Amino acid sequence: MIDLELLRNNPEIIKEEIKKRQMKIDVDKDIKLDDGRRSLIFEIDELRAKKNEASKKIPKLKGEEKNKLISQMKNLNQSLQILEEKLNKVEEKFYASLANYPNISNSSTPVGKDENDNVVEYFKGEKPEFSFEPKNHIQLGTRLDILDEKRAAKISGSRFVFLKRDAVLLEFALVRYVLDLLIGKGFILMIPPTLVKQDAMHGTGFFPAEKTQYYKTELDDLYLIGTAEVPLCAYHGDEFLDIEDLPLKYAGFSSCFRREAGTYGKDMGGMFRVHQFDKVEMFIFSNPRNSWDDYEYLRDTVEEVIGSLGIHYRIMNMCTGDIGNPNAKKYDLEAWLPGQQNYRELASCSHDTDYQSRRLNIKYKDGKKKDFVHTMNSTACAVGRTLIAIYENYQTKEGNIKIPEALVPYMNGKKIISAED
């Protein structure tokens, strides 16, 4: 949700933003809707004031006078009803249109059309060198019998996998490692519901969306989350947060479900792009005054997670044409995958300013001042993709997989996954 004051006073800023994002929205039409809406509210309020006044008089009156006023009020109610119906229609239109408005991007977000205009900020770590042709994670996982996509396809269709044997232990090791790291930084741990109501999807900016974009349960109007961002953000919906508690940092572990509509043929096979995966997601409620510092801290944190696993990556500053509606800014962390000889998205770190907090009504009080908090989120560890990065970066000539040093204690001292086990 955008600020209505901005729409009224600086519509050119919004129009400019829409252009930057390659979107098409008729802003002037919505300004007219808002004007109409406000004059209706004014008329309605006046009638209601009359009505309230009469309601105080009526019990004191008697006989003819009383009946006269009552019948006057009956008439007034008819005009009131007509106006209210009008207002309802206008508001419905107005807010439905407003729901499609993007956030205002930060000045540091590069303006661009699509993913080709994203900007490489910097590289971290070293590409591993192999004296042999590195395998991809599917070859490695299948050989070691820790990944089974064929049977997953039999049971559930394409884009599902079974994690098996040491892959399961490695997932839990990874998750526990990451949780420990985040506990140390004061994050509050969560396991949120993975089924949520429409309001939560809408409030976080995932709705409105095409029906093909998400999973929905048949009987209960509940939606499967694509990320823990949704329940973590909606967690404080309709609340005032104590300014002393900001920044309020959560880390949520959940399964994530994505239909991946429109990606047919892309990244087929393996577990890079699957309908279901597990993820530790960080979510921060922030004081707007410090939120851009908190955001860099958030980026530092995901870099620490991936960096400490010894994976080479680069940080991308995503352009206006490639960030989501709620995002004012977004970094992607792209890890080097030797099996693909390419950098691929492992994590995503977004600053949504007050876009979500407006929709979900999450505020803080600073003395007498009331304002919306800022929200931001970042992947801490998308387990499937991180496993891919580990498999491919830590493979040996024989096709075994070494365990990253940081995870060894979490694997009961095990240092390598090999076929001989």
Question: Which residues of the shown chain bind RNA in the complex (CB under 7 A)?
Answer: 4, 38, 41-42, 44-46, 48-49, 51-56, 58-59, 70, 73-74, 77, 240, 363, 370
Query: Is 143 annotated in the active site?
Result: no
3-state secondary structure of 258: coil
Nearer to RNA, 38 or 397 (CB): 38
Nearer to RNA, 45 or 133 (CB): 45
- Give the Cα separation of 371 and 373 in Å (integer): 6
- Give the Cα separation of 10 and 2 in Å (integer): 12
CB of 365 to RNA, least distance (A): 7
Query: Is 348 annotated in the active site?
Result: yes
- Both tokens of 146, joined, read 């820790």
CB of 220 to RNA, least distance (A): 8
- Give the Cα separation of 34 and 43 in Å (integer): 14
- Give the Cα separation of 242 and 248 in Å (integer): 9
CB of 80 to RNA, least distance (A): 8
Long-range pairs for 115-119 at CB < 8 Å and ≥24 separation?
A: 115/319, 115/322, 117/319, 117/321, 117/322, 118/316, 118/317, 118/318, 118/319, 118/322, 118/332, 119/316, 119/317, 119/319
Query: Is 345 annotated in the active site?
Result: yes
Catalytic residue among 255, 273, 304, 308: 273
In 3-state terms the chain splits into helix, strand, coil percentages (rounded to 5) of: 45, 20, 35
Residue 52: what residue type? N
* The 3-state secondary structure of 71-114, one letter per residue: HHHHHHHHHHHHHHHHHHHHHHHHHHHHCCCCCCCCCCCCCCCC
CB of 68 to RNA, least distance (A): 11
Scored b (16 or more CB within 10 A) or e, 383-398 reads bbbbbbbbbbbbbeee
- Give the Cα separation of 326 and 314 in Å (integer): 23
Nearer to RNA, 230 or 389 (CB): 230
Nearer to RNA, 367 or 413 (CB): 367
Q: Please, are residues 285 and 246 in contact by the beta-carbon 8 Å criterion?
A: yes
CB of 255 to RNA, least distance (A): 15
- Give the Cα separation of 75 and 352 in Å (integer): 48
CB-side neighbour CA atoms (13 Å) of 171: 19
Catalytic residue among 286, 291, 348, 378: 348
Nearer to RNA, 360 or 390 (CB): 360
Label the pairing between strands 276-286 and 188-190: unpaired
Query: Is 37 annotated in the active site?
Result: no
CB of 55 to RNA, least distance (A): 5
Catalytic residue among 21, 344, 358, 385: 385
CB of 403 to RNA, least distance (A): 31
- Give the Cα separation of 110 and 317 in Å (integer): 7
CA 104 to chain centre: 16
CB of 218 to RNA, least distance (A): 14
Nearer to RNA, 172 or 240 (CB): 240
Nearer to RNA, 71 or 341 (CB): 71
Q: Which residue has the tokens 């499967």?
A: 224
Nearer to RNA, 73 or 153 (CB): 73
- Both tokens of 241, joined, read 């947060």
**Residues classed as catalytic:** 258, 273, 345, 348, 385
